[in-house]
Structure formats: structure tokens, C-alpha cells
């Protein structure tokens, strides 16, 4: 009789423990994963990229670069400055994602920044970043 009571109590405790773990499974799973990584039993999780995908950055760079190159001679200065600022932002994003050093954010608009933009473009192309359109 006493052993029957102990078995029933054990089943109840096991059931409650199971419900407790299942209700918070995500947290326990993360803990088990970290413990497995710490003991080198599980491969570490790859880092999650921050920001837009590199393909989208490349498409934006090609699109904005094409707009700048195709601008008519009488295009408003404000529009050109806006396109150049947007292009610089995209180049900076690409450099951050690929680990390339750049100084575009530190330089004021002018000839020195234009030279830095060309240097950054060359570095990105060397790294395999597609700036020219495929067509």
C-alpha cells in the first residue's frame, strides 16, 4: 500500500516537472545548447548578421550608382548631393559587413571625400562586392 502511494506520488511529481519544463521549453533549450557548446559537444551557433542582407546592399549600391552616372548635366545640385549621400551610406554599410576600413563618414563633402569614395569602391570590388551591373 505504501509503495503504491510512493509510485503515484512519483508519477504526479514527474508529470508536474514535465509540464514545468514544457511550459518554458525555449529557455531550457537555450541553456542546454549553451552547456553543450561550452563542453564542445555541440557546434557553436553561427552569428546572426545584423542589418540588411549583403545582396540587398549590393543592389542598392548598383541602383544608386546608376542614377548618379545617368544624371543629366542640368540635374539639381541638391538631388546630386542626396544621391551621393545615399551612395556613401550604402558603401559604408557594405564596408561594415565586409570588414573593410573606410573614412567616408569622417570626411566632409569635397575632393578628398570623392577620392575616398573611389578608393572604397576599388576595395569593395577587390573583395568581390558587385558594384557594376551584370548587364
Quick one: cell of 38? 561550452
What range does the domain containing 28 cover? 2-38
CA–CA separation, 72 and 113 (whole Å): 22
Answer whether residue 135 is part of any domain. no
- 3-class DSSP assignment, residue 101: coil
User: Within a domain: residue 46?
Assistant: no
Q: What is the pTM of this model?
A: 0.65
Residues 88 and 116 in one domain: yes
Dihedral sign, CA of 77, 78, 80, 84? positive
Residue 58 lies in a domain: yes
- Is the CA virtual torsion 58, 59, 62, 67 positive or negative? negative
Q: What is the pLDDT of residue 6?
A: 86
- Taking the C-alpha atoms of 14, 16, 21 and 23 in order, what is their torsion angle to the nearest 10 degrees? 150
At 92 the pLDDT is 95
Backbone CA torsion sign across 87, 92, 93, 98: positive
In a domain, 132, yes or no: no
Residue 107 falls within a domain, yes or no? Answer: yes
34 and 97 share a domain? no
Distance separating alpha carbons of residues 107 and 78, to the nearest angstrom: 19
Q: What parts of the chain have a pLDDT lower than 70?
A: 1, 133-135
Distance CA 45, CA 37 (A): 8
Q: Exposure of 1 by Cβ count < 10 A (0-12 exposed, 13-18 middle, 19+ buried)?
A: exposed
Note the pLDDT of residue 41.
Answer: 83
Question: Does residue 44 form part of some domain?
Answer: no
Taking only the tens place, the pLDDT of each residue in 70-108 is 988 888 999 999 999 999 999 999 999 999 999 999 999
If asked whether residues 9 and 63 sit together in one domain, one would say no
Q: Are residues 59 and 106 in the same domain?
A: yes
Evaluate whether residue 103 is within a structural domain.
Answer: yes
Domain identity same for 62 and 121:
yes
CA dist., res. 80 & res. 67, Å (int): 9
Residues 26 and 82 in one domain: no
59, 122: one domain: yes
Total number of domains in the chain: 2
Q: For residue 66, tell me if it sits in a domain.
A: yes
What pLDDT score does 24 carry?
82
Same domain (yes/no): 26, 64: no
Q: How far apart are CA 84 and CA 104, in angstroms?
A: 11
Amino acid at each position: 500500500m505504501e509503495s503504491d502511494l510512493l509510485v503515484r506520488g512519483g508519477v504526479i511529481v514527474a508529470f508536474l516537472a514535465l509540464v514545468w519544463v514544457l511550459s518554458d521549453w525555449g529557455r531550457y533549450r537555450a541553456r542546454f545548447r549553451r552547456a553543450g557548446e561550452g563542453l564542445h559537444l555541440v557546434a557553436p551557433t553561427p552569428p546572426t548578421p545584423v542589418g540588411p542582407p549583403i545582396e540587398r546592399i549590393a543592389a542598392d549600391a548598383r541602383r544608386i550608382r546608376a542614377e548618379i552616372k545617368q544624371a543629366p548635366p542640368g540635374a539639381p545640385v541638391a538631388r546630386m548631393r542626396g544621391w551621393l549621400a545615399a551612395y556613401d551610406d550604402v558603401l559604408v554599410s557594405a564596408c561594415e559587413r565586409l570588414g573593410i576600413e573606410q573614412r567616408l563618414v569622417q570626411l566632409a563633402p569635397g575632393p578628398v571625400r570623392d577620392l575616398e569614395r573611389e578608393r572604397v569602391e576599388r576595395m569593395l570590388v577587390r573583395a568581390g562586392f558587385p558594384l557594376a551591373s551584370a548587364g
